[in-house]
């Protein structure tokens, strides 16, 4: 799921979906590897500021 808020994007991905496609939640990063997700037993969630984490705006 993707939710676009005024200052950041909130992204949530199922860990099952990631694992079924060969990805590990623990190795998932953005363009800026210091921007880490919140990992639960079922989901991986990122709060991605529009002006940080290597975010690139395209209009």
- Determine the Cα–Cα distance for residues 59 and 42; give it in Å rounded to an integer: 33
The answer to whether 46 touches 1, Cβ cutoff 8 Å, is: no
Q: Is residue 15 part of a domain?
A: yes
Q: How confident is the model at residue 56 (pLDDT cuts 50, 70, 90)?
A: confident
pLDDT value of position 52: 92
- Over 90: is that where the pLDDT of 59 sits? no
Q: Is residue 56 part of a domain?
A: no
State which residues form the domain around 32. 2-49
Q: Is residue 54 part of a domain?
A: no
Q: Which helix (H) or strand (E) holds 39?
A: strand 38-39
Q: Is residue 57 part of a domain?
A: no
- Determine the Cα–Cα distance for residues 31 and 19; give it in Å rounded to an integer: 21
Structure tokens at 7: 């200052």
Domain tally, the chain = 1
Q: Is residue 12 part of a domain?
A: yes
Q: Which is higher by pLDDT, 28 or 45?
A: 45
pLDDT value of position 7: 94
Instruction: Write down the pTM of the prediction.
Output: 0.81
């Amino acid at each position: 799921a993707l939710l676009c808020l005024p200052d950041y994007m909130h992204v949530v991905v199922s860990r099952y979906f990631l694992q079924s496609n060969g990805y590990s939640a623990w190795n998932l990063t953005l363009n800026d590897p210091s921007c880490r997700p919140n990992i639960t037993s079922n989901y991986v969630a990122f709060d991605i500021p529009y002006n940080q984490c290597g975010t690139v705006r395209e209009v």
